[in-house]
């Protein structure tokens, strides 16, 4: 039976931290779906620069990703109900609480485990592994 994994995030300006996360999530199963956050749900940091469809299309073009889709604007559990995954891979720094997600999955009758992915450390060549830090660097050097 196919083991389906879901990953999620904003993915505004793609960097090797995203690639690391999606490779790790893909390795948790056979098929990887990625839910791309809607601007209205990105309320804990500055709004994304790129439109949602562009963020979805870039993520969807990555080799590890089977399908990228736009998230639901009102209820983040709707895409999960549609995809019915076996695993939700939370990013290393995602603010979501794994226990709270598991409780909601149970309430909705979705049989799925929640795993926490690891973070990628910057390599020797001073990789910039955060969209916010890439934007800060652009403003510093080109602003």
Ligand X SMILES: Cc1cc2nc3c(=O)[nH]c(=O)nc-3n(C[C@H](O)[C@H](O)[C@H](O)COP(=O)(O)O)c2cc1C
Q: Which does 119 bind (CB under 5 to 8 A by kind): ligand X, ligand ATP, none?
A: ligand ATP
Q: Is 56 in the site for ligand ATP (CB under 6 A)?
A: no
Longest CA–CA span in the chain (Å) reads: 52
Q: Which does 85 bind (CB under 5 to 8 A by kind): ligand ATP, ligand X, none?
A: none
57 binds ligand ATP (CB under 6 A): no
* 35 contacts ligand X (rule: CB under 6 A): yes
Q: How far is the CB of 124 from ligand X (least distance, A)?
A: 27
Residues 124, 138: Cα–Cα separation, whole Å? 21
Question: Residue 137 CB, nearest distance to ligand X (Å)?
Answer: 19
| Residue written as token pair 């196919």 | 2
Per-residue three-class SS string for 74-138 = CCCCHHHHHHCCCEEEECCCCCCCHHHHHHHHHHCCCCCEEEECCCCCCCCCCCCCCHHHHHHHH
User: How far is residue 48 CA from its own chain's centroid?
Assistant: 14
**From the list ligand X, ligand ATP, none, which binds 71 (C-beta under 5 to 8 Å, kind-based)?**
ligand X
Interaction between residue 4 and ligand X (CB under 6 A): no
Number of other residues whose CB lies within 10 A of the CB of residue 35 = 23
Tell me the residue length of the chain: 143
Q: Which residues bind ligand ATP (CB under 6 A)?
A: 9-12, 17-18, 20-21, 45, 91-94, 119-120, 129-132
Q: Which residues bind ligand X (CB under 6 A)?
A: 8-10, 35, 37-38, 41-42, 71-72, 76, 79-80, 88, 90-91, 94, 96, 101
């Amino acid at each position: 039976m196919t083991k389906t994994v879901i990953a999620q995030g904003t993915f505004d300006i793609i960097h090797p931290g995203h690639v690391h996360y999606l490779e790790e999530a893909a390795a948790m199963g056979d098929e990887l779906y990625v839910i791309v956050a809607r601007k209205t749900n990105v309320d804990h940091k500055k709004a994304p620069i790129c439109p949602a469809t562009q963020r979805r299309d870039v993520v969807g073009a990555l080799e590890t990703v089977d399908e990228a889709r736009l998230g639901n604007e009102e209820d983040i559990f709707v895409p999960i109900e549609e995809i019915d995954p076996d695993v939700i891979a939370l990013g290393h720094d995602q603010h979501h609480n794994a226990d709270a997600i598991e409780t909601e999955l149970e309430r909705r009758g979705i049989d799925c485990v929640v795993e926490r992915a690891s973070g990628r450390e910057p390599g020797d060549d001073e990789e910039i592994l955060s969209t916010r830090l890439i934007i800060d660097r652009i403003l510093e050097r080109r602003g």
